[in-house]
């Protein structure tokens, strides 16, 4: 059951990040989920210790979702920079 919740949260965060970075037309739902999950990893490993906010594994709250969103946006920014 937790896996389904994490996939849904990852899809939501990935979709919002793709809308922010204007890559929504280039990717579908599956890639939104992948971006959200990898963004959560980036956020948990790099951003959460800097901000003192828990990760999405601790609890799914507004601060953890925002940190995950920041991680997903950074991931998409890196991908866009490499593609150029």
| Burial degree of 43 (CB within 10 A; 0-12, 13-18, 19+) | buried
pLDDT category at 1 given cuts 50, 70, 90 is: low
Residue 52 reports pLDDT greater than 70: yes
CB-based contact 8:67 (threshold 8 Å): no
- Mean pLDDT for 51-63 is 82
Q: pLDDT by residue (tens digit) across 63-82? A: 888 888 888 898 889 888 88
pTM equals 0.84
């Amino acid at each position: 059951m937790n896996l389904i919740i994490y996939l849904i949260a990852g899809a939501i965060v990935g979709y919002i990040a793709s809308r922010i970075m204007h890559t929504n037309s280039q990717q579908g739902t599956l890639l939104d989920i992948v971006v959200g999950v990898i963004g959560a990893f980036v956020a948990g490993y790099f951003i959460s210790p800097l901000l003192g906010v828990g990760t999405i594994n601790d609890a799914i709250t507004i601060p953890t979702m925002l940190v995950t969103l920041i991680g997903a946006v950074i991931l998409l920014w890196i991908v866009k920079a490499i593609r150029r």
